[in-house]
Amino acid sequence: MREFFIKEQSRILTLIHRLMYIISFFTSSFLLIYFLKITNWDLKIISMNYIANYAFIVVGFYFTSMLIKRNNILKIFRLGILTQIVYLSAIMYMAEGIKDYIILLGIVKGFTDSFYWVPRHYMVYTMNKSKAAKKFFSIDQSIAKIQDIIIPVLMGGLIGYTTNGYTVLLMVMIVILVVAFIVSTWLNVGEEEIEPIRMYKIKSFMKNNNIGKVKRMYISEFFNGVTTGGVLVQVVTMLIYLVYKSEFGLGVYNSVLAFVTAIIMFLIGQYLKDEKFEAVLKISGVLTIGVLILLIYKVDYITLVIYSVVTGISFAIINIIGNANMLKLLRKDSIRKYTLENVVLREAVLNAGRIVGYAVFYKLGSLNNNVNSLKFVLLFLSICLSMRLVEMIFALKERDEHTLHAIRVFREHMKVFRFYLKRQI
């Protein structure tokens, strides 16, 4: 009965997350371009918006975790969706006047994200304790690949070929959030009690026997926040927009590259042998640093395509390893009772990395030439990314159950994606 319950809840959670992923893609790409336009490409004010956002995510995560209980976790989760509606509605209503409140918007976004992500992370980690849920989280990732192909060109086309394109797109995003809120009413957390976070539990968690491996995961998450989970995405989005010179061009570029990357990933998943997994990570890591340096040297159509294909593959592998290792580790009896503590600490470390990345972005935003500013940021990020890759390679060398789990999850993703690919064809 419990397995059936988790299956049903994981389906609902997957559906909600896929809807919220659309919102996340919009806010990290096209909304960024919108902010850049209304601020006349003021990189410093944009970086301050993100710093405020991530700083208050950390604050929001802690206070939300202090309040969360079994009888209110879904209320907080739905509040996170509702506040997203308010956030996007405010942007749509204020139009260009939003530039005077862009830092305040970052603060609001921080609290909004914490209301959504604390309950969501907790429910995912809780469901991950069941083997029955594994395939549904693989489906979640596989659907994401399909979304990555379809969503960018649709959003870019909507902005480029409709009057008041951003207003129309914001209205669509609000409708999607309303649907997500309605679907969230189908969720049920079951009978498991949730103990709000307390400082003594954090201290107890940090003294755990397995904390060495957890700390190593946190180091990796910090560099993830600095690079692939933070400012790197925005920097590359800006460069693509500067080269292709329109939202539609940005959308087409992202969709085509997502399709090409998905096919290559599918082929890798088909023929990759377990003993070659570490070698693939090393090769893709070296290539990633190489294409970053290439992008620093020259930004044009060709270098952007090369960068996007290589990093689309390598980042997927890196993230699968990182997420699989963390989730597997949390299944240990000595650690899983600290699920909420891990959620807060992991998010704090991740966002600390993001703040560092955007602080560098802020410092370099005073340069007169935007492209040169972005290149200097890329140079810094290439160093940080190298450090994360080294950390991941050392993690794989242990060849313990976490490594094997990462390989199994990678194969599971590719298996499910093959199913969806056949359906699409």
Instruction: List, as one string, the DSSP characters of 48-67.
Output: HHHHHHHHHHHHHHHHHHHH
Tell me if 200 is assigned to some domain: no
Beta strands in 77-155 (DSSP E): none
Judge whether 43 lies within some domain.
yes
In a domain, 220, yes or no: yes
Q: Determine the Cα–Cα distance for residues 352 and 51; give it in Å rounded to an integer.
A: 9
Q: Is residue 199 in a domain?
A: no
Flag whether the pTM goes above 0.75: yes
CATH number for the domain that contains residue 356: 1.20.1250.20
191 within some domain? no
Number of domains in the chain: 1
User: Nearest to residue 120, comparing CAs of 26, 190, 17?
Assistant: 17
The answer to whether residue 193 is domain-embedded is no
Q: Is residue 377 domain-resident?
A: yes
164 backbone dihedrals φ, ψ, rounded to 5°: 55, 55
pLDDT tens-place values along the chain, 425 residues long: 445 445 677 788 888 989 999 999 999 999 999 999 998 888 889 999 999 999 999 999 888 888 888 778 899 999 999 999 999 999 999 877 888 899 999 999 999 999 999 888 888 777 655 555 556 666 777 788 889 999 999 999 999 888 788 999 999 999 999 999 999 998 876 656 677 777 777 777 777 655 666 777 778 788 888 988 889 889 999 999 989 889 999 999 999 888 887 787 777 666 666 566 667 777 877 888 888 889 888 888 899 988 888 887 777 777 666 665 565 565 666 666 677 777 788 888 999 999 999 999 888 766 555 677 788 888 888 888 888 777 766 665 554 444 444 455 555 555 555 554 454 44
Within a domain: 59: yes
Strand (E) or helix (H) holding 229: none
How far is the C-alpha of 31 from the C-alpha of 62, rounded, in Å? 27
By residue range, what is the domain housing residue 416?
2-186+205-424
